[in-house]
Structure 1
């Protein structure tokens, strides 16, 4: 991953359900696979720790029998862009703030949807760090995971090199997400944007991870713009700071005994 040195800030963002309204993998599972009820049972199992994200995701995708090219066309017909993303992306380019898509989905699907929803230039410019896919001659397909982790793609790994840069060259790091695939990245950046009413907030509340709630990318745009301009601080953007601070105090208290 190459990023111009000395950028002021970077946004790492989940794709499905964050940049898009619908989660394309959930959408395929619900409509072309074994349906919403079973999928939600597996999501719950990931949240409570009884199943890895990787195993639940493989199980979901294996229930989709449509050939891969048809899956892409089906998703292009049904998946919509978050109404605030195009404006945010335009501003980020003008402001020299890199946007990196970090997804547990599959790169060919994301690239195809980006081209349709934002434009070919964005699809060719935005860095996509995601799983791949192996399409067989008969049209059947399998997901190819990025790594050996229980996530299949441990999103924290592509953020850590930036988080570990020396202070003078380290940009402000933001992350936006909504669900169980974002759990590994939730603690890695300076400010986490978590989508209202989704599983990521449930997790952040349980683990006392600081976050700022967003309804659409318009909220993320306004908040990052204000922070980069120095009109607001990362600290002031955290919405559950009392709970997070209390948890941190408790943790340090325990570790000192």
Structure 2
């Protein structure tokens, strides 16, 4: 067996002692002490660091520290939340009904106009008349019964006494039904109490928000305009709408899926079209229903409203997620992402 012996090397201490022995022969006022002694000491320390530590980072730290002390320059190091690097950005995608708002706008509007019993009858037509009425046909039959403008529809869904732009000032109450001895049935739709602050925070940090919904795009747009102001900047991907000559609604389905928007496909399209760097940018998705599950599979961060079908599906399939009751939790998730993708910088 061939044996290998480590070659003999000069002790690193010799490199450290040499400048002291050499410069000790010079008088204290000699200019060589001012111009060459410090560099020599730094070189020796680098030699020691490379020998015993073998990491370039340690050399840089030691040299900078000695220079700082020698030059007597005081500075402070501050942790600064710098914006994410250009290589990685965050885009937020959210469901609308029962997520951004606490109720289902479509079902609420249809129940108000058609009545609960008639709406239930139309919903069950694919089961009671399976050969004659498809699921899509039943949906069209419900929407075509409406004869409202978008503004009129929003007037039904938003409490006229509520200060929607300043919800903290609201004093409106659900009216009392004296005949039944309880509160009257309300068809008002409420914005999640944390969404307005979440929206402000995302805009402040240049994080875009997109709504992906199986609802009606013009109605969602009107609702967001009233809740957040017309300059809210939220993009919406949902079903379109046109009006027949008699004023009835005709839904323009976005795709051929039962509800018109297959959210998994919609999110994949959005990822390809919206993100500057589709391979590195991150997606946060937030929803509540089973229709949100395909979209959740394509997201980096998933938040599900607590006690909903989406939360149950994510748990059953062991998919990482966070549960939320208000958008305050979603805002915290965005803040955590910013912290993780920000850096520590030094300021004078």
TM-score band (shorter)?
0.7 to 0.9
8 Å CA contact 2:254–2:260 kept in 1: the answer is yes
- Bigger CA drift: 139-148 or 108-117? 139-148
Summarize the Cα distance change of 1:136–1:214 in structure 2 as closer, same or farther, 3 Å threshold.
same
8 Å CA contact 2:271–2:278 kept in 1: the answer is no
Question: Using the alignment, how far apart are the partners of 1:168 and 1:181 within structure 2?
Answer: 23
Question: Using the alignment, how far apart are the partners of 2:312 and 2:92 within structure 1?
Answer: 22
Summarize the Cα distance change of 1:35–1:172 in structure 2 as closer, same or farther, 3 Å threshold.
same
Q: Which residue number corresponds to residue 234 of structure 1?
A: none
Q: Which residue number corresponds to residue 30 of structure 1?
A: 111
Q: Which residue number corresponds to residue 157 of structure 2?
A: 75
Question: Using the alignment, how far apart are the partners of 2:201 and 2:246 within structure 1?
Answer: 43
- Bigger CA drift: 174-183 or 213-222? 174-183
Aligned ranges for residues 1-257 of structure 1 at < 5 Å? 6=87, 8-35=89-116, 38=120, 57-58=139-140, 60-62=142-144, 64-69=145-150, 70-77=152-159, 78-122=188-232, 125-161=233-269, 170-230=280-340
8 Å CA contact 1:173–1:191 kept in 2: the answer is yes
Shift of 1:167: 7.5
8 Å CA contact 1:80–1:117 kept in 2: the answer is no
Matched residue SS, 1:132: strand
Say what the alpha-carbon RMSD is for the aligned residues: 3.1
Question: Using the alignment, how far apart are the partners of 1:200 and 1:58 within structure 2?
Answer: 26
How many residue pairs get aligned? The number is: 217
Question: Using the alignment, how far apart are the partners of 2:102 and 2:285 within structure 1?
Answer: 17
Runs of 4+ in 1 over 6 A off after TM superposition: 164-168
Summarize the Cα distance change of 1:54–1:183 in structure 2 as closer, same or farther, 3 Å threshold.
farther
Question: Using the alignment, how far apart are the partners of 2:339 and 2:137 within structure 1?
Answer: 42
Bigger radius of gyration among the two: 2
Matched residue SS, 1:102: strand
5+ unaligned residues in a row in structure 1: which ranges?
A: 46-51, 232-257
Question: Using the alignment, how far apart are the partners of 2:293 and 2:136 within structure 1?
Answer: 13
Matched residue SS, 2:340: coil
Question: Using the alignment, how far apart are the partners of 2:111 and 2:96 within structure 1?
Answer: 18
Q: Which residue number corresponds to residue 239 of structure 1?
A: none
Normalised TM-score (structure 1): 0.72
Shift of 1:163: 5.1
